Amino acid sequence: MAREDTSMKFFIDTADISEIKKALSWGCLAGVTTNPSLYSRIGGKLADFEAHMTKIAQLCEGLPVSAESTATTAEGMIEEGKHLASLAPNIVVKLPIGEAALEATHALKAEGVNVNMTLIFSAPQALLAAAAGARYVSPFVGRFDDIGDDGIAQLGTIVSAVKNYYAPEQCEIITASVRTPYHVTQAALLGADIATVPLGALEKCLRHPLTEQGLAAFEADWKKVTAEA
């Protein structure tokens, strides 16, 4: 169903079960990331949140599924994080970088809970998250581009800084806020461990005009072969 190896892994960035099922069917999905905005986008309700995350985790058995805490204090993040992690063994607790999140990450790691530190926009943020024990750090690319900065250049700095000190077994870099095949290519060239990609961008990654042109030629030529038979 999915593959585990040392090449760049593909996660899907969605809370939509049908999108996750589609990506799983391709056989190349290695994980899922969600966030409050993605859950809201599918019309998610608070009362259904835990059941929904559990459903995704069960669907993606053995693959890391990030469920984000919305607590604002370290105590709240620790409590919510432990609870989210208890829903399924493959749930990773996503926390937005900050003082409370560092404290919570340290405590959650001691409890055996994996943390994905999100909203990372700088190398110091990523290094602090990794030092506190985050299993994953998620630098955002597209949101830099949105403000006229160069998201890929920023990602390169973060990847170099983290890879100077941390092996993938300690802390993996999830390239987040991915919008285009170009982002995916550059994340791979930079050596990011993972790219979390929305389904639409994953589908764009599959397409190429020369592939379509080649396929049309194969079909046209095969028609000649079958017509002659």
Which residues inside 21-40 make contact with ligand E4P, applying CB under 6 A?
A: 33, 35
CA dist., res. 141 & res. 144, Å (int): 6
String of contacts with ligand E4P for each residue 107-136, x by CB under 6 A? -----------x------------------
> Using the rule CB under 6 A, is 204 a contact of ligand E4P?
no
> Using the rule CB under 6 A, is 181 a contact of ligand E4P?
no
Minimum distance of ligand E4P from residue 39's CB (angstroms): 11
Coil, strand or helix at 27: coil
- Residues near ligand E4P (CB under 6 A), total: 11
* Catalytic annotation present for 9: no
Amino acid letter, 37: S
Amino acid letter, 14: T
Minimum distance of ligand E4P from residue 219's CB (angstroms): 36
Closest C-alpha among 138, 85, 137, 140 to residue 107: 85
224 contact partners, CB below 8 Å, separation of at least 6: none
Q: How many other C-beta atoms can be found within 10 angstroms of the C-beta atom of residue 58? A: 12
Question: Is the Cβ of residue 15 or residue 216 nearer to ligand E4P in the bound state?
Answer: 15
What the block records as the tokens of 134 is 């985050």
Minimum distance of ligand E4P from residue 21's CB (angstroms): 19
Residue in 121, 140, 144, 166 binding ligand E4P, rule: CB under 6 A: 140
Minimum distance of ligand E4P from residue 75's CB (angstroms): 24
Residue in 64, 177, 183, 193 binding ligand E4P, rule: CB under 6 A: 177
Residue in 14, 69, 90, 138 binding ligand E4P, rule: CB under 6 A: 138
CB-based burial label for 229 (10 Å; 0-12, 13-18, 19+)? exposed
CA angle, 167 then 170 then 173, to 5°: 75
CA dist., res. 110 & res. 226, Å (int): 66
110 contact partners, CB below 8 Å, separation of at least 6: 133
CA dist., res. 211 & res. 12, Å (int): 24
Question: Is the Cβ of residue 85 or residue 214 nearer to ligand E4P in the bound state?
Answer: 85
- Per the DSSP assignment, residues forming a β-bridge with 93 are 67, 115
Question: Is the Cβ of residue 188 or residue 217 nearer to ligand E4P in the bound state?
Answer: 188
Active-site hit among 21, 55, 82, 94: 94
Minimum distance of ligand E4P from residue 83's CB (angstroms): 20
Give the residue numbers marked as catalytic: 94
What is the binding site for ligand E4P (CB under 6 A)?
13, 33, 35, 118, 138, 140, 142-143, 176-177, 196
